Structure 1
Amino acid sequence: MGNQLTPGSPFMPGLQSLHCVVIGLDSAGKTALLYRLQLHEFVETIPTKGFNMERLKLSGCPYQVWDVGGQEKLRPLWKSYTRRTDGLVFVVDAADPERMEEARVELHKVARSQENQGVPILVLANKQDLPGAMAAIQVDKALSLHELSPSTLHHTQGCSAVDGGGLQLGLEILHHMILRKKKTQNQSRKR
């Protein structure tokens, strides 16, 4: 695969851990996905009233992952967690097409904020295990991801917190997008 960026490489010297934030509307499955990653099993969860923070190893790299509640009253707090993040994971309930417009508005608010310009975004189209769930390409279109800044790397991945399907692949792609952004930033600083 050629040159891979790893912690401690010339492109990422002294990297301790990457910071990632998981956001999305309430009931999208953010916490269930986080615990699927950590425990490798489905955990029935209750609505997050604030945030959860877990340390995970993804693609051989340590991550500090913040899972922030998605209720409408908590969404103004998202900017406090997304500031200076390495990557954003935006989770949508792919089986609830009626909330896609609300999700689109919230995602674009976060992605267009000054602090988040160019931060790689992984959209997880969760609940693919449910009948009638929108495919990743449909979610991508419904969220108008093509309208994001050209400097914002993004990928939409179908997944399921119940069986874990698609989750690992999506996170590997996010990891590569983060490393690509860091490499580009480091090259720009050298100029």
Structure 2
Amino acid sequence: MGALTSRLSSALFGAKEIRVMMVGLDAAGKTTILYKLKLGRVETTIPTVGHNIETVPYKNIAFTISDAGGHPKIRPLWRMYFHDKHAFIFVVDSNDVERLDEAAQEVKYVLSVMEERAEHRPLLVLANKQDLPRAVGVEEMKDKLKLRGIRHPCHVQTTCATTGDGLYEGLDWLANALR
């Protein structure tokens, strides 16, 4: 239903549609980011089982963002949602340094699915929760997630979902990467 609505709004209002898959470990802030972009405010959320789809209008682009749950039992299902996406967002809790190796494994999984499908799609990594004291910065995040030298366009953007810092800069990068 969400995809139909976004295609209809694109047709009526002339906005270009960009379909994005947003994944990441549980509690990284994916759903908070989705609703901060959609509604402009922080909503109380519960862990996502399945996925949420919302269309976020921004600069004459309709970003249709699918947010998939990040619980370990749900992650194998991510690939079901990848087939029609123009770009991928991977959200990382940059303050949870103990789970960065786990996040790196999931980034590797996302990239491997893109490779097996011969898709050259951009990957935006949102290093979320930058307002917290142990937050890892851009260069360290690139190293921890093993992003240097990958074949896909890739960008790490520092963000804070609760304030919105960095979120629109990330969308700008995606839009430019898809030109």
Coarse TM-score class (shorter-chain normalised) = 0.7 to 0.9
1:71 aligns with 2:71: yes
Counterparts in 2 of 1:22 and 1:116: CA distance versus 1, 3 Å: farther
Match of 1:115 in 2: 117
Task: Give the 5 Å matches for 1:11-22.
Answer: 17-22=17-22
After TM superposition, the structure 1 = structure 2 runs for residues 1-191 of structure 1, keeping only pairs within 5 Å, are 17-113=17-113, 114-115=116-117, 117-149=119-151, 152-179=152-179
Give how far 1:28 is off: 0.3
CA shift at 1:147, angstroms? 4.2
- Residue identity (%): 38
Please say if residues 22 and 65 of structure 1, whose CA atoms lie closer than 8 Å, have aligned partners that are also in contact: yes
Aligned length: 164
Which blocks of at least 5 consecutive residues in structure 2 are unaligned? 1-13
Q: Secondary structure at the match of 1:72?
A: coil
SS of aligned partner of 2:172: helix
Q: Which amino acid aligns with 1:60?
A: N
* CA RMSD, 1 decimal: 1.5
Question: Runs of at least 4 residues of structure 1 off by over 6 A?
Answer: none
Offset at 1:15?
8.0
Deviation at 1:16, TM superposition (A): 5.5
- Structure 1 length-normalised TM: 0.81
SS of 2:103 mapped into structure 1: helix
Compare CA radii of gyration and give the structure with the larger one: 1
Are 1:83 and 1:116, in contact at CA under 8 Å, matched by a contact in 2?
no
TM-score under structure 2 normalisation?
0.87
Q: Which amino acid aligns with 1:119?
A: R
